[in-house]
Amino acid sequence: MIMHAAAVTITSVTSVAPFDRDELEKMLSLVTEIEGTLEGQFTHTRCVVARFMSEFIKAKFFNFCGQPGARLDSDQTIYFKDYDHQSLLFIIASLLLFGAPRTHQEDLKKIWVDRIINRILWNQFIGKLNDEWTGLALSATVILNANVAFLAIPFVQDTA
């Protein structure tokens, strides 16, 4: 299952695998290391494998794996298509904020499908937001420094 999930995450941006590529590589190396110790004295290794399997089984359950209407991509809905219901206040705020609320709403709709949050896409979204906010803080700092510099210039009065 780990190798299959790794292949899916490599070939698809919207995979339904519960782990990202780095986590799957770590899991695969761990399972490879404990492969010969499952029957021996280290009985806790079974717990490690069972824990990995339970996460994969939960993902299969939530995505209806093996059923006719199974979810194949993480942004694919199974139950219904959501219609865009936006209030007038949201539309006005989106226009005043140069479309940022609408962009974030579309990103959140891809992350939160059928009331299930995809953890991998959520982490990517939070990383993108942190980068955005870092850029905004840097821009605000530059503008604040420019304002302070202009305020430090003494006022020149025209005596003519």
- pLDDT on residue 76: 86
Ranges in the chain, pLDDT < 50: none
What is the distance between the alpha carbons of residues 32 and 143, in angstroms, rounded to a whole number? 54
- pLDDT on residue 123: 93
Q: What is the pLDDT of residues 19-40, one digit of tens each?
A: 988 999 999 998 888 877 766 6
What's the chain's length in residues?
Answer: 160
What is the distance between the alpha carbons of residues 152 and 2, in angstroms, rounded to a whole number? 62
- pLDDT on residue 38: 66
What are the structure tokens assigned to 146, written together?
A: 């420019």
Q: Is the dihedral of CA 53, 56, 61, 66 positive or negative?
A: negative
Contact at 8 Å (CB) between 145 and 138? no
What is the distance between the alpha carbons of residues 37 and 101, in angstroms, rounded to a whole number? 52
Q: What is the pLDDT of residues 94-105, one digit of tens each?
A: 999 999 999 999
Q: Tell the residue number behind the tokens 């995450």, with chain if given.
A: 9
